Amino acid sequence: MAGSQAQELKQRIESRTARVGIIGLGYVGLPLALLFSEKRIPVTGFDIDEAKVKTLNSGGSYIVRISPAEIARARSNGFDATSDYDRLREMDVVLICVPTPLNEYHEPDLSYITNTVEAVAPRLRAGQLIVLESTTYPGTTEEIVVPLLEKGNGTGLSVVRGDDGKGDVYVAFSPEREDPGNDTVARQDIPKVVGGVDAVATQLGCALYGCIFNRTIPVSKPAVAEMTKLLENIYRAVNIALVNELKQLCARMDIDIFEVINAAKTKPFGFQPFYPGPGLGGHCIPIDPFYLSWKAKQFDFRTRFIELAGEINGRMPYYVVDETAAALNEHRKPLKGSRVLVVGMAYKRDIDDLRESPSLTIIELLQRRGALVDYNDPFFPTVGRGRHYDLHMSSVPLDKIGEYDCVLIVTDHSSYDVAAIVRDAQLVVDTRNATRGIDSPKIVRC
């Protein structure tokens, strides 16, 4: 590895004395901080949310799947949280794990990245490694992050590039691969892709992540790593769109799409099962296709296949509401004025993540059509206002299900007694196949 500066940082990383700072303590940043802490690597979390900082420093947790005991253990290993960005100067490595949502026009909103990088820049010091983990379009690291770091540091520090090896700061991109609610794969067993602005940055990134992940995957440049993340999620989005479309066709043909999928997945090659639902949720799969289609337009290229998948998945909440109205109509009830209980608000089962959840859209569509809507979710006592919703509702208990004209299952949390819901309800519309194995004329599966 060229350069005494790089050698010194690599030695600190390998000896596990390098100080790691993680900006953004949400669903990505906090689990990452805990991985470093488990290996007794000095780690400090940075967040502008004072409530999060206070909770963590008092040994608490605000993410259901992360217990207070894990936070307490990390604290005993030296982990702390702060909103004081001046402490970034103390860090040898800075990892950026901030949101990358879409704006109201379904275009990339990089304001979290740019604001964060602009905050990091004046606190840079020579020899630091800066890694962006936030999902984004190819080119972000080199076209936005690098110029902002160099322009904003005010001391003439430059990013090390591969052409001459000169510079002061190393920059890389390494996409997060978190899957909330997935307990089958340990975090450290998920390979970590790393693409540096130059080969030395890649080596440093691999050395860093090699301390906490069992395998690192070096790639030639940040854009490759950025595209890798998009490919992974677009692959899922396209296949989910396929089964969502087939679900609608199968419904017309009186065929159970879930039975079809279960039969097809017995093939030992050439098929991977994906399952339909009420729409996409989470921070990645509903968003990433739009990041790539937006970027593709700069190259006079239209990603028609990807855009079609986004259109199909985006229409699923509308399909669910239409099917709910049809089910009520069969019971001689109009949607307008009917009481509807939405069961499950999270975007998938057993997590406390509301980001882009189809439940939010479904509730708003039901309300627009005159339905009287309540919801239940054990992870969300209240739902207020977000970037794309304004509900201000509170979770209701499940002890008066019989008073509702329709119970709409949108998220199949394992804590729900589905058999009891069917028993007590007048009508159940099931978007998740949660009622499989239950035979009742009350059930409409969509």
Q: How far apart are CA 106 and CA 193, in angstroms?
A: 27
What angle (nearest 5°) sits at the alpha carbon of residue 306, between those of residues 303 and 308? Answer: 105
Q: How far apart are CA 74 and CA 67, in angstroms?
A: 11
Q: How far apart are CA 21 and CA 210, in angstroms?
A: 17
Residue 422 structure tokens: 């069917």
Reply yes or no on whether 97 is catalytic: no
Q: How far apart are CA 446 and CA 432, in angstroms?
A: 8
Give the position of tokens 């009350």.
Answer: 442
User: What's the distance, CA 349 to chain centroid?
Assistant: 14
Q: How far apart are CA 327 and CA 338, in angstroms?
A: 12
Q: How far apart are CA 364 and CA 360, in angstroms?
A: 6
User: What's the distance, CA 39 to chain centroid?
Assistant: 25
The DSSP secondary structure of 19-59, one letter per residue, reads -EEEE--STTHHHHHHHHHHTT--EEEE-S-HHHHHHHHTT
**How many C-beta atoms surround the C-beta of residue 24 within 10 A?**
25
Residue 200 structure tokens: 């030395």
Rg of the chain on CA atoms, in Å: 24
What's the Cα-to-Cα distance from 185 to each of 116, 265, 279, 375, rounded to whole Å? 31, 20, 24, 31
Query: Where on the phi/psi map is residue 245: left (φ > 0), alpha (ψ -120 to 50), or beta?
Result: alpha
- In single-letter form, the type of residue at position 364 comes to E
Out of 97, 284, 406, 446, the active site residue is: 284
Residue 47 structure tokens: 């967040």
Residues 75, 55 contacting (CB under 8 angstroms): no
Detail the DSSP E strand segments found in 227-357: 339-343
Residues classed as catalytic: 284
